[in-house]
Amino acid sequence: MYNKVRKAVIPAAGLGTRVLPASKAMPKEMLPIVDKPAIQYIVEEAVASGITDILIITNRGKSDIENHFDRIPELEERLLAAGKQEAYDTVVNITKMANICFVRQKETKGLGHAVNCARSFVGNEPFAVLFGDDVIMGDKPVTAQLCEAYEKYGLGVLGTKEMSPEVVMRGSSLKLEALDGESNVFKCTDLVEKVSKKEDLLSNYTILGRCICPPEIFDILDNTPPGVGGEIQLTDALAQLAKTVGLTAVDFEGKRYDMGNKLGILQATVDVALTHPEVSEGFKAYIKEIAAKL
């Protein structure tokens, strides 16, 4: 059994151009899914997976994220005085879930560059990366599924799913091989970012929002030149690991919502609202009413 994964990094310093104007002054990671910002779902997933220390990568426009995980004494006093114990617990518990720190990515130079800002926080141990705009819901937290593969094989792990070629071309494409005795864990020997022709896809499996990196990723990132879009791509550094020491990939259980995309935000809202104890009844009735007219 290899080391347990205790730390997680959540890159949340992107510009969110696909969800403008909502993300102009508000971080897209703070967009609510019914009553909780997206990034809180992600932190909760990390905590439910056994992560104790979390670093959120932000930038100068993202102080709302820091505020969300901080105490607000005036609000807490008001809630207590009004006897609103449940609301008080909700706002205070957010601040106690894990040891949460922040660091700023000073220039938006890509996901690989953002992850490289975590070097001193991570030190010499494996760490989970949870993309700040990918919310994944399911019975078993996805990060826990990836941690299990890390603890078994001791190699970096990619969270993946098979998607349509059009979706894969907008992200990474993975070259996978079967692993003995596994049904949803594969060996990953190569990956490429944003190919422009279908023929260049390595497969229809793509990284979806989660990976576990060994600490060796930092030396590789230091020497990774800008790739697609002029950004330092995490995919390029992971490709180097895949081709040398190797990586595994887990076809995870869970439904992923892309909160960096308008349709993804709507899908997350509808699915959560349909099971939310406070609003599900009224929301179901509303959905039925409008669906009948479509």
Q: Which residues bind ligand UTP (CB under 6 A)?
A: 11-18, 57, 105, 108-111, 113-114, 131-133, 260
Q: Is residue 209 a contact partner of residue 130, using CB atoms and an 8 Å limit?
A: yes
In angstroms, what is the minimal distance from the CB of 132 to ligand UTP? 3
Reference 217, options 248, 246, 201, 241; nearest CA is 241
CA atoms of 199 and 271, how far apart (whole Å): 35
The smaller minimum CB distance to ligand UTP, of residues 13 and 185, is found at 13
CA atoms of 190 and 202, how far apart (whole Å): 8
- The DSSP element (H or E) to which 150 belongs, if any, is helix 142-153
7-11 and 53-58 strand pairing = parallel
In angstroms, what is the minimal distance from the CB of 183 to ligand UTP? 29
Determine the residue with CB nearest ligand UTP.
14
The smaller minimum CB distance to ligand UTP, of residues 133 and 251, is found at 133
The smaller minimum CB distance to ligand UTP, of residues 28 and 175, is found at 28
Q: Is residue 237 a contact partner of residue 112, using CB atoms and an 8 Å limit?
A: yes
In angstroms, what is the minimal distance from the CB of 150 to ligand UTP? 21
The smaller minimum CB distance to ligand UTP, of residues 131 and 252, is found at 131
Task: Classify the C-alpha dihedral 19-22-26-28 as positive or negative.
Answer: negative
The smaller minimum CB distance to ligand UTP, of residues 57 and 79, is found at 57
In angstroms, what is the minimal distance from the CB of 252 to ligand UTP? 18
In angstroms, what is the minimal distance from the CB of 110 to ligand UTP? 5
The smaller minimum CB distance to ligand UTP, of residues 27 and 88, is found at 27
Using N-to-C axis directions, what is the helix angle for 262-275 and 280-291, rounded to 10°? 120
Q: Is residue 100 a contact partner of residue 54, using CB atoms and an 8 Å limit?
A: yes
In angstroms, what is the minimal distance from the CB of 140 to ligand UTP? 22
